[in-house]
Amino acid sequence: MSLLISIISGFKTRMERKITVTSQELVKPSSLNLNHLPCHHLSFLDQLAPPIFMPFLFFYHNKTNLSTNERSDQIKSSLSEILNLFYPLAGRIRNSGDVVLCNDMGVSFVEAKADFNMSQILENPNSNELNKLHPFEFHEVSDVLLTVQLTFFQCGGLALGIGLSHKLCDALSGLIFIKSWADLARGDTGIVTPSFDLAKMFPPCDIENLNMATGITKENIVTKRFVFLKSSVESLRERFSGNKEIQATRVEALSVFIWSRFMASTNQDDKTGKIYTMIHPVNLRRQADPVIPDNMFGNIMRFSVTIPKMTINEDDEA
């Protein structure tokens, strides 16, 4: 009975947590009418990207004496400044989906407040709760290319939720933008100057009849979170590298391990003809000849699809 009461109490506490939007606005580049191109043409690789928001979420403890309004103003001011460099993010994608109008209309900036402490959401992360720290559902991409939500917790900490349109860039380009924004906010030098010439390398094609939203679904999706210690990952790397001269990467080692555990829990004698695949995103920057520089902004990645064997070795046992 005590266990049941504990579960019900925990469920009730989680359901009572609220995040309330306090303001919404558009943050525009600080220097309007800069001498930048009026349009940004998407590359062929951009055209193949799914129309979704890529979510990034950062948590910060309150280590300053600034008020909530001062911290918010500082974040908005630095965002406005960095948009001068990453100007397509402040534009709007055209209905045809192959051109971004660099009209400096601004990015969506939402402020919110949570009626609980930051530790309550970090101790046992729940994807449904984390999604509330973003202003839009990830599949709700319209013509806006960048969304930001700033959420303040009762403890004084804050969460910065960033959504970048996958039509414009991949995760690495997104992280370069975020790092440049952080560097500017701290007053650091050496901020990366992005290049928006990817369409010259991969010219767009006529894909009018190709719907990249096909397959996007919200139904029957289960999210699991697995945490591996650094020492455990290094042990797996040694284990799966064997006597090879080149050591397995962390991604390779974890992929093999998770696949072996998946197959161990699956009926290996299944005669239904099901096919299981593993999909890994691959950074094409290092695969190209010559190498594509990291400051090239866009979708410079493709997916590698593998159909591993349906049996496991004794050596793979955990």
Q: What pLDDT, on the 0 to 100 scale, is given for residue 276?
A: 81
Average the pLDDT over 184-208 and give the result.
89
Inform me whether the pLDDT recorded for 56 exceeds 50: yes
Inform me whether the pLDDT recorded for 245 exceeds 90: no
Is residue 213 within 8 Å of residue 51, measured between CB atoms? Answer: yes
What does the DSSP 8-state code read for residue 120?
A: H
Inform me whether the pLDDT recorded for 251 exceeds 50: yes
Inform me whether the pLDDT recorded for 194 exceeds 90: yes
Task: Return the CATH fold of 15-201.
Answer: Chloramphenicol Acetyltransferase (3.30.559)
* Residues ≥6 apart with Cβ < 8 Å to 226: 258
> Three-class SS of residue 296?
strand
Inform me whether the pLDDT recorded for 203 exceeds 80: yes
Is residue 108 within 8 Å of residue 144, measured between CB atoms? Answer: yes
Inform me whether the pLDDT recorded for 314 exceeds 60: no
Task: Tell which CATH architecture fits domain 230-316.
Answer: 2-Layer Sandwich (3.30)
Which residue, among 121, 163, 117, 157, has the nearest Cα to 140 in the 3D structure? 163
205 vs 213, higher pLDDT:
205
Q: What pLDDT, on the 0 to 100 scale, is given for residue 31?
A: 86
Average the pLDDT over 262-273 and give the result.
69
Structural domain boundaries in the chain: 15-201, 230-316
The two beta strands, 107-114 and 146-152, are: parallel
Average the pLDDT over 258-273 and give the result.
73
Ramachandran angles phi, psi of 76, nearest 5°:
-65, -40
* Residues ≥6 apart with Cβ < 8 Å to 59: 118, 122, 157, 158, 159, 160
Alpha helices, DSSP H only, in 48-170?
68-82, 118-122, 127-131
**Which amino acid would we find at residue 113?**
K
Query: Could you give the percent of the chain with pLDDT greater than 90?
Result: 49
Angle between helices 68-82 and 171-186 (to 10 degrees): 120
Q: Is 299 left (phi over 0), alpha (psi -120 to 50) or beta?
A: beta
Average the pLDDT over 180-190 and give the result.
91
Q: What pLDDT, on the 0 to 100 scale, is given for residue 75?
A: 96
* Number of residues written out for the chain: 318
Tokens 């029957």 -> residue: 220
Region of poorest pLDDT, from 31-35, 106-110, 244-248? 31-35
Lookup: tokens for 69:
């309004």
Q: What is the pLDDT of residues 6-47, one digit of tens each?
A: 333 344 344 468 899 999 999 999 987 666 788 999 999 999
DSSP class per residue in 184-215: HHHT-S-----B--HHHHS-----TT--TTTT
User: Which strands, in side-by-side order, build the sheet including 19-27?
Assistant: 19-27, 107-114, 146-152, 158-165, 53-60
Inform me whether the pLDDT recorded for 200 exceeds 80: yes
CA dihedral 148, 150, 151, 152 (to 10 degrees): 170
Which of 12-16, 26-30, 137-141, 275-279 reaches the highest mean pLDDT? 26-30
Distance CA 283, CA 292 (A): 10
